[in-house]
Amino acid sequence: MPFTKQMILTALLISLAMLVGACGITQIQIVIVVTATPGAPEVNTPAPALIETSAPAPSSTPPPTLPPTLAVTADPAREAEAAPLPHGFPTPVRASVQVAEQLFEGGRLFWLQPTQQIWVLTITGEARGNWSVYEDTYIDGVDLASDPSIVPPDGRLQPERGFGKLWRESVEVREALGWAVTPEFGYISDYAYVVNGTDETGAFIGYHVLFSLYGEQFRFNEIDRTWQLGGG
């Protein structure tokens, strides 16, 4: 039996629908309009064919486990958009940066790869405290990673490498932080810097936003060298 143009198009349509289903697309609608062949006798053409395909049944294989989210919970750049800064203020900076973090009895430490700085957070109240910045002077292969003569109590740790060198050499930092309560861990964090004023010399100042491994948002205020948890 000879194949008409409409029969060929219908066969192609069914093949395409099977291919789409195999690729896992949830739903697709395909409309084919068949036009008359010039010179051919006029026939009644049925309404455009509509085929709806559904995705195959979901797989029983569980989805992969994802690392803890680092999603921005409050984009500081949007604050600048909502309340425009005065003319001449730098635009907010947003980036993803390599970070190391370690929790202590009295606060925590952050290390920022782009600046090679160690940020010290000490707790003075609920979800807030003082913030100080130190250069990371640790040299791998030259400085001791840790001091074997320092033995922490049970359940506590001696910080190592750059954190450990600062902790051992600065009495002020060591007394403010106490012992480490977690190992040091590294990850990629969302980062933002927003200028929101000037100091007494006229230099621009603002605040930094950084995130912990588990998505906690920290805001670092340059005007008074404090930190607070959350974007407020």
- Residue 118 pairs with which residues in a beta bridge? 111, 134
pLDDT at 49: 42
Average pLDDT over every residue of 118-126: 97
CA neighbor of 219 nearest in space, from 146, 151, 121: 121
Q: Which pLDDT tens digit goes with each residue over 124-135?
A: 999 999 999 999
Same domain as 135, residue 27 = no
Q: Which pLDDT tens digit goes with each residue over 134-177?
A: 999 999 999 999 999 999 999 999 999 999 999 999 999 999 99
70 occurs within a structural domain: no
In angstroms, the CA 176 to CA 162 distance is 17
125 occurs within a structural domain: yes
In angstroms, the CA 127 to CA 68 distance is 21
pLDDT at 199: 87
DSSP, collapsed to helix, strand or coil, labels residue 190 as strand
71 occurs within a structural domain: no
In angstroms, the CA 101 to CA 82 distance is 31
Same domain as 81, residue 44 = no
pLDDT at 179: 98
In angstroms, the CA 107 to CA 103 distance is 6
Give every CB contact of residue 155 below 8 A, 6+ residues apart in sequence. 181
Q: Which pLDDT tens digit goes with each residue over 31-59?
A: 444 444 444 444 444 444 433 434 344 44
Same domain as 137, residue 49 = no
Question: What's the one-letter identity of residue 199?
Answer: D
Same domain as 200, residue 156 = yes
Same domain as 123, residue 30 = no
- Of residues 200 and 81, which shows the higher confidence score? 200
Q: Which domain holds residue 120?
A: 76-229
163 occurs within a structural domain: yes
Burial of 227 (0-12, 13-18, 19+ CB in 10 A): buried
In angstroms, the CA 32 to CA 44 distance is 15
Q: Based on the structure, what is the number of domains in the chain?
A: 2
With contact defined as beta carbons under 8 Å apart, do 107 and 172 qualify? no
63 occurs within a structural domain: no
